[in-house]
Chain A
Amino acid sequence: MAKITLSKLRHSYFPNPKSPSDYALKEIDLDWSDGGAYALLGPSGCGKSTLLNIISGLLVPSEGQILFDGQDVTKLPPDQRNIAQVFQFPVIYDTMSVYDNLAFPLRNRGRDENTVRERVMAIAEMLEVTDMLDQKAAGLSPDNKQKISMGRGLVREDVNVVMFDEPLTVIDPHLKWKLRSKLKELHQRVKATMIYVTHDQTEALTFADQVVVMQLGEVVQIGTPIELFERPAHTFVGHFIGSPGMNILPCTLLNGAARFADHNIALEGPIHGEALGKTEIGIRPEFVSLSDQGLPAVVTKVSDVGRHIVVECEANGTRISAVVEGRAPEKGTAVHLSFRQDMTRLYIDGWLASTPETSLEAAE
């Protein structure tokens, strides 16, 4: 097990990258602490798989270093890094039995058969596949195949980090949940660092202690699921995480107050940084409520998603969603929206620029 440090990492698939858009990864500095459960979250094409392949050693970065416990492994091939990777589609050695599949990484490293047996039995028990050990791996169902490819990663006792590249893509929805909790349980038992790549926020938020959100080859925010939900550092995070995503309202600043549609919107606290770029208000639908006074708006769509109702409104040409419990107004109704002040953020050029009142008081 090891702490993984990425230092000034850049990668381009072109031999001579010139403009920043030639880079699949733009300058990444990250620390993954030993034994942590991380998720790497971002839309398709944001560079998360590239980053994963660089950590596993399948790809050598154009610039920068990867350190395992302070030791430079940037140029080491995958088999010398003691890492394990589980791929999107289960990789199984078809002609081998389940037992031989699990034993394969150990036998390749010249472990004696007793050690192999011991490890394979332990891992099989953990994954609940003991009764399948003698079967041919080719005949297994997709979720069991994926379990076996996970097992091949976990069977080595010296593994530094286990990486999962969207491992639940081919799994049936009702088994996804089961396998996900299995993963979480495995993490607690083996205590290896785990990195889970996905574009599915539910998977990321349920699996990880720390979520790294990426966009266009950059890390936008690192935080716990709650931090990402409550204080998105970037409007992208606000929009990407949450269902529906954060409401983004273009606004103007006047004497330190935010104005939208001729209304003053109370922010969580003072603004830091220079308000030169595009200014926007960010508020999650969960913190928007319908009330007697506040911002006037018209209901354009009402959708019942089961646990609550999402009311979509339009105010001054901008769509604002609100999450409502109980009864919702009908489409076309004129309503007033009020925002919970401590959850109303200000973004300048996409980046968070407001600070909460309390932290300011604490600083004083």
Chain B
Amino acid sequence: MKTENQKAWFFVLPVLLLVAFNALIPMMTVVNYSVQETFGDNVFFWQGLDWFQQILRSERFHAALGRQFLFTFLILIIEVPLGIAIALSMPRKGLWVPVCLVLMALPMLIPWNVVGAMWNIFTLPDIGLLGYFLNHVLGINYDMTQDPLAAWVTIITMDVWHWTSLVVLLSYAGLVSIPDAYYQAAKIDGASNWSVFRFIQLPKMKTVLTIAILLRFMDSFNIYTEPFVLTGGGPGNSTTMLSIDLVKIALGQFDLGPAAAMSLIYFAITLLVSWLFYTLMTKDDLN
């Protein structure tokens, strides 16, 4: 006879504790702040959903959200095709494979604030290699502390430089898992290079690409360190992404209530978009 007991729950307990302390409890604190007003000394006043209303109606939030979506859209539309193209042109066999893989992985090994600092120095108009070259050799007026467009071009270039490798490595993993027979069969069937890409390579990369896009979306949507170090959100507010704005409200102005409400809205948007994307991409696999 099968005896039933509930002892197995004890095995889940450590994980539950861990999740509680690193996610649930901090998150509840945020929820707590988001519905109350405080003037310090642990004195709280009930505020209801006022902070949420305030944030959702705030022009400042709309602007930051718009910049955030624009940034994420731009880097995805550059990094995904570029990553696939690089993965396609990488060798599949031979001595160059490890060389390429290590070269590809290098940018990702650099800490984020170092990336920001590197690019900051790199683009300085008077002493930076790129900044000097653009201003004094090519004669292009380039100064990202003055020109919002230059600032945008720089942070996008930096992100592409830093993160395209992720798309490359994941796509490459998908590509090398395709057995030779597929390419041979396609050759015999008279398929063009485009058909091979469209009907063999792309479908076989679909799963890893979904993961790559999802990771790039979440990371870029929550980006903070690099633009903070590079531009500090400027010139003006032109590169103030959601997370930079959030920190300004929370730690600069010490408006904990609105900041808490904003981070919950921010979190909900990230979650919703990720969920929508993943569900749409994997819809076909279910039936």
Contact = CB atoms under 8 A, between A and B. Distances in A.
Specify whether A and B are partners: yes
Interface of A: 53, 56, 58, 77-79, 83-85, 87-89, 91, 93-96, 104-105, 108-109, 149, 152-153
Contacts of B203: 93-95
A79 B187 contact: yes
In the A-B complex, list the 6 residue pairs whose CB atoms are closest, starting with the nearest. Answer: A108-B190, A87-B181, A91-B185, A79-B190, A105-B189, A93-B199
B179 interface: yes
6 contacts: A53-B184, A58-B187, A91-B185, A95-B203, A104-B191, A108-B192
Contacts of B199: 93, 95-96, 104
A78, A109, A153: most-surrounded residue (chain B CB, <10 A): A78
Contacts of A104: 189, 191, 199
B188 A84 contact: yes
Contacts, number: 52
B86 interface: no
A85 B179 CA distance: 15
Contact of A89 (B179, B187, B190, B204): B179
Given A96-B199, A108-B195, A91 B190 contact: no
Given A95-B199, A95-B203, A149 B185 contact: yes
Nearest to A100: B199
Nearest to B185: A91
A89 B191 contact: no
B27 interface: no
A84 B189 CA distance: 8
Interface in B184-222: 184-185, 187-192, 195, 199-200, 203-204
Nearest to A87: B181
A89 B188 contact: no
A91 B181 contact: yes
Contact of B187 (A77, A94, A153): A77
Given A58-B188, A94-B203, 20 more contacts: A56-B188, A58-B184, A78-B184, A78-B188, A79-B187, A83-B188, A84-B188, A87-B181, A88-B181, A89-B181, A91-B185, A93-B199, A93-B200, A94-B204, A104-B191, A104-B199, A105-B188, A105-B190, A108-B195, A149-B185
B188 A85 contact: yes
Nearest to A84: B188
Contacts of B181: 87-89, 91
Given A93-B200, A95-B199, A95-B203, A85 B190 contact: no
A77 B188 CA distance: 9
A77 B200 CA distance: 20
Contacts of A149: 185
Contact of A152 (B189, B200, B204): B189
A152 B185 CA distance: 9
A73 B161 CA distance: 47
B122 interface: no
